[in-house]
Each structure stands twice: as C-alpha cells, then as structure tokens.
C-alpha cells in the first residue's frame, strides 16, 4: 500500500508514492530520479549510498524512506550551488580524489559533513569520517589530499585561506615535467576529463539509466556445488503477478561460450549440470526487481547432488569427481615449459632452496556491481548497455551465442565503476537480458547484487606454488623451477592464459639462465577464477620475491643487493623469448633504496618494526588478441590457426574536427573503467593534433561511434590505444599542412602544429590559427576526419607451446619498500608506509600514474594481509559481502610515496608504458618481507593474518632450536 510522501531533498520538495518498506536509496534513485546516490552493497558495508540526513551522513540503504520524511536530505546533486562546485568537489578534481567515481558521491558527502562540523580536521578525524566509505581505486591517497586541502572550510562550501600549509606531494625528479606550453599536456598532471561529472553525481553508470518501459531480470543460482539438474519447475514463479517470463537451460542457445576459444565451456544457464554454488540455473524477468527477486524463490529445482571437489590437488587425484568430461583428471590446462638446462643449472649452484607458497582467493570487488540493459531495435539491432572493460569482446561473444552478426550488436559502455579484471568477460546478465528483451520486445535491466558478484566470481586464481631456486656464491640465479597448481574453479574463463602468465612473466624481471615451469590449472567446484590486476602473476611474484630474499639472507647478502645482481637489463631477450626493450629496473631499485634510507633501517629496527623490499613488472598490453585470426564476421566463422602476427589492429581511433575548427572529437572504443584512459588518450591525441586538450572531447562509450578497441585488460590502453589516437591526430595534421602552407605561403614540410596554432618551424611569428586552417579544409573538402590504428609488432614470442602469453611490445618495472609495525602479542599488522618507484616509460599524466600506484598499493597490501574468499566444506562462500570479505578502509591504508624514474620506451607513444597492473606486483612481496623482518618469521601462505603470525611466533618460541639458543644466551 503506497503512501504519498513529501521529501525535502537538496532544499526542494518532492512528493512521491512510497511503499512502507522502501529504503531511502531506492526512493531517491528510482522515484526522485537523483542517481548520484549509488548502490554498492545494500547492507551498509560500502558507503556508496551515503546521503546527509539533517547534515549527518547515513547509509541510505539502511534508512526506511518513511523515517526520512521529516528530515532535510542532501545528496551529491545538492552540493554544488548554482553550478559552482564546492571546495571539496574542486579538491577531488585537482588532487586526484576520484577515479572510477562510484564511491565519490558518498566520499564527498562524508567529507562535507565532517568539514561542516570541524572546519580544520586532523588527519585522524578525516580518516574516522571516511572510514565508512570504501574505495577500490585510489588507495585513499588522493582522497586524503583532497580533504586535507579543504582546511578552513566555510559553511558556504568554500575554503578561506588555509591556516596551515597544504600537504604537498613529495615529487620525484620526473614528476610534473614542464610541458611545452599548455598544448596537449602530455607529461602534465591535468585533472581527469570526467572528474567534473564524477564529483557532482552527473556521471551515468549503467544502473542509473532508465529507458522507458524497462523490466527487470534476476538469475537463480545453484545452492549446491555439484550436481545434475533433474527438473526445473517454473510454474509457481510464472504465476506470480508481475512476472513476465522465465528462462531455464532449455530456453537458451545450445552454444557454449567463454573467453579462450579452445575452452568455451559455459552455457548461458545450466543445461545438465551445476558446478558451483551460484552457478546460473534459471532467470526471471518481472515488472520490477523486487518481484523478480521474489519469483526466484518460487522456482523449484530438483538436483541430483554429486560429490564436490574443492581443492586442486584433490581434483587431480585418482577417482576425484569430474567436473567436465572433456577435462580428464580435472586438468583444464597443463603447461610444461623448460628453457635452457635446468638440471645443469642446479648442479652448478652453490645454494639451492626450495619453498612452498600458497595464495588466496581474491575477488576484484569493484564498487559498482555488474549491470546490463538490453534492448532490440526494430531493425534487429541489439543495443546492450553494459558495465564492462571489454566492449568488443562482449560484442564478439554476444554474436557467437546469439548467432547474429557482430555488426548487428551495438555495445554501449556507460561510466564504469571499476573492473580490475572482474568485468573482462561477457556475463550471464548480458546474455539473459538480451534473450529476455528479444522475447518481450522491451528493455530489460539486470544487476548483480554484491553476493551474486562473489558467486559469479572471476577473481584471482588461488595458486599453490612449489619453487626451487639455485644461485651461485654471489647470489646470481643459476636455475629456477616452479610447479604451480592453480585453483581454477568450475569454468575456464581466462584460465588458460592465467596458467601461462603464472610462468611467463617471472623471467622478465630477473635474468634466469635456466627456467622450467610446470603448471596445472585445475577444475574445482567453486566460482570460476579469472583475470585480476596482474593476471596470474602477483602470487608467483610474491612467492619469488620472498624466496629471493630468503636466499639473500642465507648468503648474508643485502636483499636489495641480490636484486641488483640479477636485475633485468634493457634490450634483452629473456630465456623464454620475451623481448624486453626499455628497462630502468635498476634505477627503481636505487631510488627506493635511497628514498627510504634502507641501509640505515634494514636490520636495525626495534622489535615489532619491519621493512621489506618487493619488485615486479608487467606487460604493456598483450601481444596477441584473445581470439585468433581475423576479426569475427559472424558466428559461422570457424576458428583460425594461430599466426605470429596481428591480423587486425588492436586499437583504432577516429578524430573528427568540428566544422568551425574549435573542437576535436576523439572516437575510440578503449574502455574507461576508472583508470583514466579517457584522460591520457585525450592528452596524447591533443598533443599530436597540436591543440590544447581543453578543445578535445572523447567519445569512448559507444561501438556505433567508435571503432574497435580490444578494451581495458593486460594493461594495454596507454601504449596501444595511445598509438592509435596519436596516429589519428597526425593524420589530421597531415591533411591540414597543405592548407596551412597556402595560408602561410611556405613549404608544407616546415610547418608545425602546436598549442592551437600552425607556424613555420623556427619562426613562430609566422603563424595561423589552427582552427582557421581547419575551417578552410572543411570549406573546401567537407568533414575533417583522421584515423589511426595500432597493431602490435609481428613475430612476438618464441615457437614453444603457449609462447604468445606474456608477449608484449614493452615491459614495466618497479621496486617498492614497505614499512610495518606488528603487535607481537596479537599478530596485528599496521602498514605504516609504502614507497614505490616505477619505470612506466615516460608518463603521459603523472597524477594519473600515481593514482594507479596508490590504488595498487592499497589493493595489493589489502590482499596480502586481509582479503580471502572463504568456502565451507560444501563449497558455499562464507563471506560473500563487504563485511566478511575485508578490504582496507581509509584507516588501514598506509602513507604512500609514489615516484617515477626517467625512462623512455621506443615502442610506446611518447615513450610511455603501462602502470595499472604492474604497480600491483611489487606490493605483496614487499609487505610479506616487511612482516617477516618485523617478526622473524616468514608466512608463506596468503593472506598473512594476525592468527598465522601469532602461530608462527609461538612455533618459533616452542621449537627446540630456539629453546637451545635461549639457553645459550
């Protein structure tokens, strides 16, 4: 029974019909239509739905709308006054306080409430005020800078002159290099191009879109980990008023899909078997989401339960339950690689050490849940709005499953609230929504709940690693052998690539003369593991970094010194045939060494304090496309054999100049998911056009507008899409040169375009306005359009099986030092300080680079000490929520210094390489080493929890050796 209620929102009265059980967030979003208030978890764990009630921040998902009826409500849309942003909003723009933007409205409201209460807060007060707002992108550093900047806050939302000096970012040598004028601003920390929308609540995410006549779908997940689906009775659900249609396995195409073409093994909905708790069995569409949710409970499914296998070693054992007939002994992928002569290397070694390490189940947990809206146009075009990192692969996979040509699918990627690899695949939401929408002839929206996100999975593979290293007397690596069991979950997902990545990127950081890798990706009855930031590499990198430090300790060599002795050098072909070009790894080592005063601290700290080193690096874009051969024409096309060259460009751009020459519109399909690609691509394109970046607009969200780009994965966008946009810019300039030459009366070959002007090289006084030349071009020829494309170099990689994985035009490098305090009585770790120096080539936007590093530090530290998806013995997730799955809050995050070393990558645009994924890699090892340094015990299985530390300390105390040593002392 709905009641008409008047709400006072941002000073305006809104009278809407409310159900007594409606929570405030739903009324604000769906009825008042203010969508700046975000839904992240629904149960008060994330803070994305924070609004102010009478000036106090509350989670609007935990407030009944009726209880808010007599309060004054402030949402993010009410913070700017008459179009003038508040001081907090401005600071979030200028200080890098926003990335994906999904937490930003809540953050800004919490910060504003704090500043209203305490105009000059201490940093502890800021942290306390923001502890209820989770952020997965920024590492909270930019947010701390933003709020700290607003000291002396006034009630009108402005700041008086700061009463104390603003916190300044400690800049490294190559930061904020002076740009040549304002021009395209390559190398300059310009604010994100989307920041203004993100701080005001104007950024539109998929779930914020309300197409007329939309209906809502939900998917039923399996309650058991393994079993046959015997019978699905949907009659009761269909009878529920408001339910429009129900789908089961028999209603969906008999086409399997997935990521790696050789291992398509998923159906849209289970046809015969379920293989993990949450495996999709049936779907419902109804007039609203609530009804659809209720209908799921009315579907009766009869299962014949099978024994489940949850451990990769058990999965491989004789007689273990088999998940898929096609994967014998549950081996999904076996990697068997050997380079050089590993046994001879060990034979020549002075010291050999073998250790076993275990990783953890990490889930990306982007703040924005996956969401999709599908709608079909009358000409048979499918329009899909989806929260994805890979619009093209979604388009490709929809074409494959739905049996329609790629060209009949238009994918729109609205603002995406973070991905980290968790949105790098086509989801059952995309497919079910499209199928429902076709059936009903109206738009269908489907959104995962936080719990469903965990059950859908695709997080980091938990890896079980047996490593063996052989070194000479000086610590120089002679041989390295690894055996890794990857816990793959129930489907392939990215797993084939993951299994190869787990081995192939290790030799790009240190020189391995001999190297063997034996990898097994195993099927288990858990949600499929997929690709997560650092794809396959972070856990082996953690293990290797720990092992290298152990060896250094054994030999009495400083852990930084042993890294120097083994460090990768520029222009090296690795033992596994990865082609390393620019490499300033040594410089990053020297830089952290100096910055933290390593020699003054290492081995000299008081009990409970620790310092540790970790290093890492990653590919700047995968050398090959996920699918082989040419771009997909339709579903009928067969698989093509692997060729050692790119058969089509991986990144493509179009630039169109407005008819008056005053604006340039950049069209590229590269997916902005919060990492900042729209901004750096704008900068690079403007630079090559020779105009200020403020004249650019970027359209990256619509496949009808922008040409193909493979998307945001493998840290590929800066390098690959960067080339495409730069080339498109150059193409425009080339078209303009003859016209400029006419206007300037000179040879076209001596004209330069820069900062909105075209002039004679060496004599800038002989110039003409850029727009004037562009106008002339249009008047004579019509549209001024330039295109650019990028193909990775041909021939990357060796000839061995799996040689394509890990290939890249360029590699990044980084070194990090972590400083911790450990409470030796409880095992609790506080990560105090983190210092990172990176070789990301020449940075396009240093603030964006630091933002990636800061975010990676906190994500990496969080997964090292806190995060783990836990399962019971029936394969049920014990913590599919953000109060059980613990991610660092602002109170847990360390103080971070991010620095860059001078570097130039000849294969990158403007000398640039990647930063997004590589920045994760040094973190885990550095944290683990710092803890070992503080406690005297190595914890070799992640996460390094207080309980594990305490147990290890007790074991050490109780061991006979210690007792003997104590007796001697």
Partner 1 sequence: MYMPSVEFHQATTLPEAFDLLQACGPSTRVLAGGTDLLVDLKAKRVTTDHVISITRVGELKGIALDNGSLRIGALTTITQLDESPLLEGGFDPIRDAARLMAVRQIRNVATIGGNLASAVPCADLPPILIAMNARVHIASRDGEREVPIKEFLLDVRKTALDRHDILSAITVPQPPPQFGAAYERFGLREGNAIAVAAVAAGIRLATDGTLETATIVLSAVSPIPKIALQASSIVQGQHPSDDLFARAGEAARGEADPISDIRGSASFRRDLVAVLVQRALKKAVERAGGDVL
Question: Which residues lie near partner 1 (CB under 8 A)?
Answer: 19-23, 26, 41-45, 47, 50, 53, 56-59, 61-64, 66-67, 110, 127-129, 131-132, 289-290, 293, 449-451, 825-826, 828, 830, 866, 870, 878-879, 883-884, 886, 888-892, 945-947, 950-951
Q: Please report the DSSP string for 127-175 in residue order.
A: HHHHTTS--SSSTTHHHHHHHHHT-SB-TTS-B-S-SSPPP-----TTT
Nearer to partner 1, 26 or 545 (CB): 26
Output DSSP code: residue 6.
E
Contact between residue 534 and residue 852 where contact means Cβ atoms under 8 Å apart: no
Cα separation of 671 and 209, whole Å? 18
Nearer to partner 1, 127 or 521 (CB): 127
Nearer to partner 1, 366 or 421 (CB): 366
- Other Cβ atoms less than 10 A from the Cβ of 356: the count is 12
Residue 146 phi/psi, 5° resolution?
Answer: -60, -50
Nearer to partner 1, 830 or 964 (CB): 830
CB of 882 to partner 1, least distance (A): 9
CB of 29 to partner 1, least distance (A): 13
CB of 934 to partner 1, least distance (A): 17
CB of 52 to partner 1, least distance (A): 10
Q: Please report the DSSP string for 720-765 in residue order.
A: IIHHHHHHHHHHHHHHHHHHHHHHHTS-GGGEEEETTEEEETTEEE
Contact between residue 526 and residue 276 where contact means Cβ atoms under 8 Å apart: yes
Nearer to partner 1, 736 or 858 (CB): 858
Nearer to partner 1, 743 or 866 (CB): 866
Contact between residue 935 and residue 605 where contact means Cβ atoms under 8 Å apart: no
Give me the half-sphere count of Cα atoms (radius 13 Å) on the Cβ side of residue 31.
Answer: 22
CB of 316 to partner 1, least distance (A): 27
Nearer to partner 1, 131 or 665 (CB): 131
Cα separation of 772 and 660, whole Å? 8
Cα separation of 254 and 271, whole Å? 9
Cα angle 872, 311, 956 (rounded to 5 degrees) comes to 85
CB of 236 to partner 1, least distance (A): 17
Nearer to partner 1, 55 or 162 (CB): 55
Nearer to partner 1, 61 or 758 (CB): 61
- Closest alpha carbon to 412 in 669, 199, 588, 605: 669
Output DSSP code: residue 178.
P
* Tokens encoding 667: 């069209």
CB of 213 to partner 1, least distance (A): 21
- Closest alpha carbon to 32 in 58, 54, 11: 11
Cα angle 767, 773, 776 (rounded to 5 degrees) comes to 140
Which ranges of 383-518 would DSSP assign to H, the alpha helix? 391-402, 428-440, 450-456, 495-504
Nearer to partner 1, 132 or 475 (CB): 132
CB of 68 to partner 1, least distance (A): 10
Cα separation of 300 and 281, whole Å? 11
CB of 294 to partner 1, least distance (A): 8
Q: Please report the DSSP string for 786-805 in residue order.
A: EEEEE-PPTT-S-SSTTTTT
CB of 461 to partner 1, least distance (A): 21
Cα separation of 504 and 574, whole Å? 10
Nearer to partner 1, 64 or 351 (CB): 64
CB of 453 to partner 1, least distance (A): 12
Nearer to partner 1, 439 or 828 (CB): 828
Sheet containing strand 609-616, strands side by side = 609-616, 813-822, 829-839, 895-900
Distance of CA 293 to the CA centre of its chain: 29
Cα separation of 470 and 553, whole Å? 14
CB of 242 to partner 1, least distance (A): 12
Say which residue the tokens 């060599």 belong to: 557
CB of 774 to partner 1, least distance (A): 51
CB of 491 to partner 1, least distance (A): 25
Nearer to partner 1, 57 or 614 (CB): 57
* Tokens encoding 131: 């502890």
* Tokens encoding 479: 């041989």
Nearer to partner 1, 892 or 917 (CB): 892
Cα separation of 1 and 904, whole Å? 66
CB of 827 to partner 1, least distance (A): 8
Nearer to partner 1, 575 or 886 (CB): 886
CB of 225 to partner 1, least distance (A): 18
CB of 341 to partner 1, least distance (A): 46
Nearer to partner 1, 291 or 652 (CB): 291
Q: Name 697's Cβ contacts closer than 8 Å, sequence gap at least 6.
A: 663, 664, 665, 666
Nearer to partner 1, 23 or 804 (CB): 23
Contact between residue 374 and residue 431 where contact means Cβ atoms under 8 Å apart: no
Contact between residue 351 and residue 555 where contact means Cβ atoms under 8 Å apart: yes
Q: Name 943's Cβ contacts closer than 8 Å, sequence gap at least 6.
A: 360, 863, 864, 865, 866, 867, 868
Cα separation of 481 and 577, whole Å? 17
């Amino acid at each position: 029974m709905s009641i008409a209620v008047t709400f006072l929102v941002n000073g305006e009265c809104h009278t809407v019909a409310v159900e007594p059980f409606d929570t405030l967030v739903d009324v604000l979003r769906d009825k008042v239509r203010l969508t700046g208030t975000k839904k992240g978890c629904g149960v008060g764990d994330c803070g994305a739905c924070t609004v102010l009630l009478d000036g106090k921040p509350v989670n609007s998902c935990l407030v009944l709308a009726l209880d808010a009826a007599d309060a004054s409500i402030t949402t993010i849309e009410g913070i700017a006054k008459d179009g003038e942003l508040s001081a907090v909003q401005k600071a979030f723009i200028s200080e890098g306080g926003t990335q994906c933007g999904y937490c930003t409205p809540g953050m800004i409201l919490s910060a504003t409430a704090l500043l209203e209460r305490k105009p000059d807060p201490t940093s502890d007060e800021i942290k306390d005020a923001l502890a209820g707002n989770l952020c997965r992108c920024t590492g909270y550093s930019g947010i701390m800078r933003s709020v700290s900047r607003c000291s002396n806050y006034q009630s009108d939302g402005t700041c008086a002159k700061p009463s104390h000096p603003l916190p300044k970012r400690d800049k490294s040598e190559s930061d904020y290099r002076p740009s040549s004028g304002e021009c395209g601003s390559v190398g300059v920390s310009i604010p994100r191009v989307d920041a203004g929308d993100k701080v005001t609540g104007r950024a539109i995410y998929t779930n914020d879109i309300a197409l007329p006549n939309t209906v809502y779908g939900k998917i039923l997940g399996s309650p058991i980990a393994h079993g046959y689906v015997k019978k699905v009775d949907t009659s009761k659900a269909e009878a529920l008023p408001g339910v429009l249609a129900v789908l089961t396995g028999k209603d969906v195409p008999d086409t399997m899909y997935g990521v790696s073409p050789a291992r398509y093994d998923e159906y849209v909905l289970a046809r015969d078997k379920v293989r993990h708790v949450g495996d999709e069995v049936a779907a419902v569409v109804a007039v609203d989401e609530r009804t659809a949710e209720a209908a799921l409970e009315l579907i009766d499914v009869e299962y014949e339960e099978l024994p489940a296998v949850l451990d990769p070693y058990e999965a491989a054992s004789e007689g273990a339950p088999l998940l898929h007939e096609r994967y014998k002994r549950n081996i999904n992928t076996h990697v068997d690689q050997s380079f050089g002569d590993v046994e001879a290397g060990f034979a020549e070694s002075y010291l050999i050490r073998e250790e076993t390490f275990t990783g953890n189940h990490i889930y990306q947990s982007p703040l924005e849940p996956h969401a999709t809206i599908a709608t079909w146009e009358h000409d048979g075009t499918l329009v899909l709005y989806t929260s994805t990192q890979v619009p093209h692969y979604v388009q490709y996979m929809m074409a494959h499953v739905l049996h329609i040509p790629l060209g009949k699918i238009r994918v729109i990627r609205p603002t995406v609230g973070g991905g980290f690899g968790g949105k790098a695949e086509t989801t059952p939401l995309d497919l079910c929504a499209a199928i429902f929408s076709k059936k009903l002839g109206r738009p269908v929206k489907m959104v995962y709940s936080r719990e469903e996100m965990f059950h859908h999975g695709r997080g980091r593979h938990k890896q079980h690693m047996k490593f063996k290293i052989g070194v000479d007397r000086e610590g120089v690596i002679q041989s390295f052998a690894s055996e890794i069991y990857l816990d793959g979950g129930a489907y392939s997902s990215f797993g084939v690539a993951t299994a190869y990545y787990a081995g192939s990127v290790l030799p790009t950081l240190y020189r391995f003369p001999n190297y063997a890798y034996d990898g097994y990706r195993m099927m288990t009855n858990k949600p499929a593991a997929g690709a997560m930031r650092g794809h396959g590499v972070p856990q082996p990198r953690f293990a290797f970094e720990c092992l290298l430090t152990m060896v250094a300790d054994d030999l009495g060599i400083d852990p930084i010194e042993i890294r120097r002795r083994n460090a990768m050098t520029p222009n090296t072909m690795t033992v596994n045939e990865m082609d390393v070009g620019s490499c300033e790894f040594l410089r990053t080592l020297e830089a952290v060494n100096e910055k933290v005063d390593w020699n003054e601290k290492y081995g000299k700290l008081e009990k409970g304090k620790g310092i540790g080193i970790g290093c890492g690096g990653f590919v700047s874009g995968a050398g090959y496309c996920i699918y082989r051969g040419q771009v997909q024409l339709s579903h009928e096309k067969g698989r093509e054999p692997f060729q050692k060259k790119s058969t089509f460009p991986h990144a493509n751009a179009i630039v169109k100049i407005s008819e008056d020459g005053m604006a340039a519109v950049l069209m590229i399909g590269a997916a902005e998911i919060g990492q900042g690609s729209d901004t750096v691509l704008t900068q690079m394109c403007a630079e090559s056009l020779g105009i200020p970046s403020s004249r650019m607009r970027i359209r990256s969200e619509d496949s009808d507008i922008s040409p193909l780009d493979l998307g945001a994965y493998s840290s590929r966008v800066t390098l690959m899409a960067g080339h495409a946009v730069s080339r498109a810019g150059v193409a425009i300039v080339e078209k303009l040169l003859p016209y400029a030459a006419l206007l300037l009366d000179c040879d076209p070959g001596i004209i330069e375009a820069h900062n909105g002007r075209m002039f004679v090289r060496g004599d800038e006084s002989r110039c003409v306005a850029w727009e004037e030349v562009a106008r002339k071009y249009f008047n004579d020829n019509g549209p001024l359009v330039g295109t650019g494309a990028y193909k990775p170099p041909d021939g990357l990689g060796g000839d061995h099986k799996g040689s394509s994985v890990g290939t890249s035009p360029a590699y990044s490098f980084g070194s990090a030092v972590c400083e911790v305090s450990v409470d030796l009585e409880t095992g609790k770790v506080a990560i105090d300080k983190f210092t990172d120096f990176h070789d990301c080539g020449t940075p396009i936007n240093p603030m964006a680079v630091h933002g990636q590093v800061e975010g990676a530090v906190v994500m990496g530290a969080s997964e090292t000490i806190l995060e783990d998806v836990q399962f019971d013995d029936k394969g049920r997730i014990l913590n599919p929520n953000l109060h059980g799955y613990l991610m660092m809050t602002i109170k847990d995050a360390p103080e971070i210094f991010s620095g860059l070393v001078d570097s130039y990558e000849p294969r990158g645009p403007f000398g640039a390489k990647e930063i997004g994924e590589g920045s994760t890699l040094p973190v885990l090892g550095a944290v683990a080493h710092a803890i070992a340094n503080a406690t005297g015990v190595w914890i070799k299985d992640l996460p390094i929890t207080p309980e594990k530390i305490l147990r290890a300390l007790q074991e050490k105390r109780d061991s006979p050796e210690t007792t003997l040593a104590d007796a001697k002392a």
